Structure 1
Amino acid sequence: MDTLKLASQQLQKLEPHGRTEMKLPNNGFLFLEHDVPYLIVYRRKTKDRQTMRLAKTGASFLILGKDDEDYMHDFLLELVDRMAERFRSFLVVELEKRDLGSTEFIISGPYKKLPSTLDQLAKELEKIDIRYDAKLTATIVDSSAENTENGSPLFEESFLRVKGGTYVRLQIPPVYRTLENKEFPVFFRKFRTQFAKALQQSIYEFIRVQTTSKIASYHALGKRRIHEEVSKIDKEITAIQNSYSFLLLVAPINIENLKRSYFNNGFKNIGTYHYRLLPIDPDILKRKLYQLDIHEIDDPALAYIYDEKREEIDQELTMLKERGSKNFFYSSVRLYQDISTQLLKEAQLILNNIAEDDLASEKTDMDAYDFQKLAENEFDFFRKQAPDFRSKVHIRDDINIMMVAGGELYLPSGYRMTKMEARALIQHELGTHALTYFNGTRQPLQQLAHGLAGYDALQEGIAVLAEYLADALGVNRLRTLAGRVVAGDALLKGANFDDMFSMLYKEYGFAPQRAFDITSRMFQGGGFLKDIVYLKGLLELRDHLANGGTLEPLLAGKFALRHLTIVQELTHRGLLHPPKIKPRYLLNASCDQKLRQFKKGMPLHNMV
């Protein structure tokens, strides 16, 4: 066949770092990564789409059309010969589906040659969670005594062994289908993720022992290319996310008037919050969200992060429709979760051990234009590391808070601050938010710039730690973060506006202005827990670093700590990159010492 001749010619060009991708007759397909010494093979069967999708989770896979194996046999032997010549050995794993109702994997392979690989495969497969209380089992059958009741093998082991290859058949129990052959789609996605990990861990054992490959981790054995459909989903979900400003739309537009009235009334009767009109239709955006074929992504790691992000955007859109109602608060709890006992205790320790600095507001000696010079100097520092860094500083009359949006810094024209606050804001807003945005834009996935689901806590935790490492974390700043936590706890326990303000003002000694700011932010939308993430993120970051984690990999984009394993896996595969620019505070003489103290689990109230 002409196609087979073309495929054979392709084998003459298996250059390092390359890949071969081609269609084959009868709806077959070859995707071969030249630097990966294994291939997953699937022989197409009717009504067996799930097994084919399991095969396509591999870095290299071959889908054979119906009845293709006879004329593909010599091509595969040639492929194994070429790859084994380069890597000393090459593994072929064929996936097949077992009968409905089975809960047992059957692993057929040369056990005497690969005892550790096959034993690990069985062990990892048995860890896969199954619905209800059933348990999966895995049985190893030596290929020399193989039972062929489920069909003949693709290769005779002896033929492959001469070429330097090893052949393993893996028969998979379709526990993701009912006895009536109906799919459990949500369970299948979970099964696929765990199955891919089990297979990759076991294949890595083979690679480590049997080949000359320099692959250093099983994390590198997943897909090494971002499919164009994934890039399309990435752009579309980012466009939906960027079509509205969630925080702006849940912030009241009449808060200054409410504050004056509240203070004039002796700290009573807050009045009614008013919000901006919605510039989008949440229902239309939700429709667009669920038209994205995220569940068709064959890479389980990428499918997970986009599915999770879609759910978060869905929750935000629901909350926009619920502004001003109690349902907004319930949705906020779901989005930002509860306050742990440890987090509340740390917040209370801060407030009980640190007194408010009543004179701090009188020390403001820098304006927006002074700060602009500092910010531009910081941007120049970034440009020395990355000449393509393009962010600018904008001083505006139509905003009332400092913010970073799209990597750009926006300053209110009347903004004033102390020199210490300026240092803190430089490392918080630029050294963290603008920096991770830029690093995220240099990733192949736009979501790393705009934020994976739940990224806020880690972002704010790093930003507050940056203030500390830059010797700029102030007393009132840390107290404010703690105050937000105790206010969030009060909100969860049913406190009203007056109760919360009184607690902060009278029990914890906050000045009326700060007590109002904390309370008013906590009640925006109908009850908003986002402000707990600052101290929560700092606490989680301290625990992560205390357990051996490092700071720099967390600067590669905007993601949550729970995504770190996925980010590391995608980096191992070459799909993501280490951070391109790093913050200035890492160069401070005191940084290493302060970071070591923080890693040891220092109480947060000792940070000032």
Structure 2
Amino acid sequence: MSGTPVANAYADNGWLDEIISCLEEAKSVRRDLPGGGRLHIDRPLPFICVHIAEDGAEPVARDIAQANASYLIAPHAAAALVVIDAVAGAMRKRFGSFVVFDIGELTQDRFLTKDAPFLPPFEIAIWSSDDMVQAAECFSAAISHSEARFRTPKVERVRTPPSRDDVALGRVLHLSTMAVRFAPVYRQVGTQDIFPELREQLVAMLFDAGLRAMASFVESEKILQPKTHRALGRKAFVDAVTRVDRSIDEVASAFDFLLAVTPINAEAAYETFKASGERPAFLYRPLTLQIEAAKRKLYSISFDHLEDPVLYQLYREKQQELDLQLSLLASRQKPRFIEFGRALYGPVEPSLLNEARIILAHLADIEVDGSDDGSKDGAIADSGYVESRALEMVSAYQEQLNDFDVSVELRDDLPSGLMVSGNRLLISRATLMDKRRVDPLLSHEVGVHLLTYFNGSAQGLRLFRTGLAGYEGMQEGLAVFAEYLSGGMTPARLRLIAARVVGCASMLDGATFSQTYSTMKDKYGFSSPAAFNLVLRLYRGGGLAKDAIYLRGLLALLDHLRAGGALEPFWMGKIAASHFTVMQELAERGLLRLPAVRPLFLETEHGRSRLAVAKAGMRPIDMIQELET
């Protein structure tokens, strides 16, 4: 290529020498090219994904290319060949081989006709050089095994390489090449309108298949040995990710959902309830934001330039969760609040309800007083004692991380107990509990909720401290498990967690506050104060299904450990069980750091031995412990 007019025109510019120099020094490259186009290489890799088209002509193929850690977007083949030649030269010196993955769209969706009785398959054509046959087969297999929710892909191997401006990229440069063309099934027939969900599915499917093909090649040639094909993905956040992250965090930080739905007159409400037996009127903090304005801001956030399909999906999920939380706040104390809560936290599944009833039946003879531990023998701790122990625990964590900056606050506007809000630990002045339960409960709040907040903060994206969508179930399951690892899972504590599930099911089935209170008091033996506090949590805001997630998350965690799963990714930030593989992938790609702080309860011999027992297999009933005096 060095003697062609196009090559000479580009070679006259110093920018090409700069690119080669960066690659030889293993530096990242991200720059716009003369005459249009873009080159992005976040680290040296033995392949590049290439897409050639005018702006806006093939948007899905462009998105697939830009999802890669190494890609080139060019308006025409002549310009692309110059850049590919330069990049290939530098990468072949490093790796010995270099692959061009050429992605583009077919001109039409020829299998779809207006009179088709159902959605037909859609066409994907693949051509490869002789040394890329195995990689092409890997690509075909990945497409065939992918979940197609709308139209099924029909993969065809073609003998003639697709051309760009009558130029077959890899053949001209004598490089290993795989070229893929797919039908534009994301477009609505006869219009320029698109099917957004189908577009997202196409990008995710073809990007993943491409990475699998590249991994197959580099492994077979013994160039690299990635742990998974996804390890060949991006290892750097682009600026657009940071902008979206800050914008999402601004909306999420504008309100505290749990504080907004927690009554501020719990003690007065209990006295009223004792006197009348009628459901008391709960008072709430005034909202600190205008819901409609917050939603407008939320949906004004553009995800168009994120380029990474995994991060795109994480932020879309969070956007939808924040929308649902805002809808809940707008419906506070209104009949539809309960349905928004059901949508956010889910119903009480029959299997979950059955597990809760088994626990309650097993613990039927345990006497429960007004605290959550049921002990009448131990010394009682008040809020001041809890505060002092909390400060000591925070200080211990600060020895691991100076930035473990927690504000411990005593509050008059909370029901008895503790809660975390951001980097604050809030303690109700009405709190009274067995002293032996204080440290396990602080392990729950400080050792899990606050620890994952600060570890998430250290990841560079605020999303991991705010919490990925749906994180609360696993987070609360992890926090309850921390109580067990700390030696504080008493019979009465487990009984309380199970009773919350039964009470939540009762609330969702339409039982009144008084009816659920009577069930907790008369059927399950809770004292009047304990039953009231339990039911208050369930009916706050108008009926909140959150309290079922503690046992649900615990069961999911125990299943995860029994199957050989690790705890380490859960300490990286606030994540859901469904995000476990995502966190592993992001960690393998170098986008996540190891936890900056580790739980103190896993630094003890008792904590490690209890974890080993859990990994061997246990149910919640097996976690019951007696507190030591």
TM-score range, shorter chain: over 0.9
- Match for residue 384 of structure 1? 399
Q: How does 1:163-312 map to 2 (within 5 A)?
A: 165-180=175-190, 181-265=192-276, 268-312=277-321
Deviation of 1:453 after TM superposition, in Å, equals: 1.1
| In structure 1, distance between residues paired with 2:170 and 2:567 | 51
Deviation at 1:541, TM superposition (A): 0.6
Residue 21 of structure 1 deviates from its aligned partner by 1.5
Residue equivalent to 1:502: 518
Q: Would you say the 8 A contact 1:15–1:34 is kept in 2?
A: no
Give the equivalent residue in structure 2 for 1:553: 569
TM-score w.r.t. length of structure 1? 0.92
8 Å CA contact 1:352, 1:508 repeated in 2 = no
Cα deviation digits, residues 530-585 of structure 1 (max 9, x gap): 01111111011111111121112211001111111222211122211121110111
Instruction: Provide the residue aligned with 1:104 in structure 2.
Output: 123
Q: Which residue of 1 aligns with 2:103?
A: 95
* Cα contact 2:24–2:90 (8 A) shared by 1: no
Partner of 1:456: 472
CA contact (8 A) 1:193 1:300 kept: yes
Alignment-mate amino acid for residue 380 of structure 2: D
Asked whether the 8 Å contact 2:266–2:282 carries over to 1, the reply is yes
One-letter amino acid matched to 2:359: I
Letter in 2 for 1:472: G
Give the AA of the match of 1:96.
Answer: G
Structure 1 residues 454-497: Cα deviation after superposition (integer angstroms, max 9, x where no partner): 11111111111010011011222111110110011112222112
The gaps in structure 1 that reach 5 residues or longer are: none
Q: In 2 relative to 1, CA 469–15 (structure 1 residues): closer, same or farther, beyond 3 Å?
A: farther
Work out the CA distance in 2 between the residues paired with 1:148 and 1:388: 55
Give, as a single letter, the amino acid of the residue that structure 2 aligns with 1:235: R
- Measured in 1, the distance between the counterparts of 2:25 and 2:576 equals 34
2:328 corresponds to: 319
Where 1:525 maps in the other structure, the secondary structure is helix
Aligned twin of 2:64: 54
- Return the offset for 1:351: 0.8
* Match of residue 482 from structure 1: 498
For the 8 Å contact 1:237–1:310, the answer to whether it is kept is yes
1:146 and 2:163 matched: no
Q: Identify which of 84, 87, 92 aligns with 1:79.
A: 87
Instruction: Decide whether the 8 Å contact of 2:409 with 2:426 is kept in 1.
Output: yes
Bigger drift between 388-397 and 584-593 goes to 388-397
Q: How does 1:454-603 map to 2 (within 5 A)?
A: 454-603=470-619
Superposition RMSD in Å:
2.2
CA distance in 1, matches of 2:544, 2:580: 27
Distance 1:73 1:388 in 2: 49
Structure 2-normalised TM-score? 0.90
For the 8 Å contact 1:431–1:584, the answer to whether it is kept is: yes
* 2:3 counterpart residue number: none
Q: 29, 32, 36: which one pairs with 1:27?
A: 36
- Aligned: 1:365 with 2:384: no
The answer to whether the 8 Å contact 1:20/1:33 transfers is yes
User: Would the aligned equivalents of 1:312 and 1:335 in 2 still touch at CA under 8 Å?
Assistant: yes
What SS does the aligned partner of 2:386 have? helix
Structure-2 separation of matches of 1:75 and 1:315: 47
For residues 503 and 170 of structure 2, what CA distance do their matches in structure 1 show? 69
- Give identity over the alignment, percent: 29
2:555–2:619: 8 Å Cα contact kept in structure 1?
no
The answer for unaligned runs of 5 or more in structure 2 is 1-8, 111-121, 625-629
- Alpha-carbon distance in structure 1 between the residues aligned to 2:263 and 2:424: 24
4+ runs deviating over 6 angstroms: none
CA offsets 1:143-179 (integer angstroms, 9 cap, x no match): xx4165886344353x544xxx411111122111122
Aligned to 2:595, the other structure's residue is in SS state coil
Determine if contact 1:556/1:578 at 8 Å carries over to the other structure.
yes
Q: Tell me the number of residue pairs that the alignment of Structure 1 and Structure 2 aligns.
A: 595
Query: Are the aligned partners of 1:101 and 1:178 in contact in 2 as well (CA < 8 Å)?
Result: no
CA distance in 2, matches of 1:11, 1:30: 12
TM-superposed CA distance for 1:233, in Å, is 1.4
| 2:43 and 2:69 in contact (8 A); partners too | no
Looking at structure 2, the residues matched to 255 and 395 of structure 1 have their Cα atoms a distance apart, in angstroms, of 15
Give CA deviations for 1:496-538 in whole Å, capped at 9, x if unaligned.
Answer: 1222112111222222222211212111122110011111110
| Aligned CA distance change for structure 1 residues 572 and 156 (closer, same or farther; 3 Å) | closer
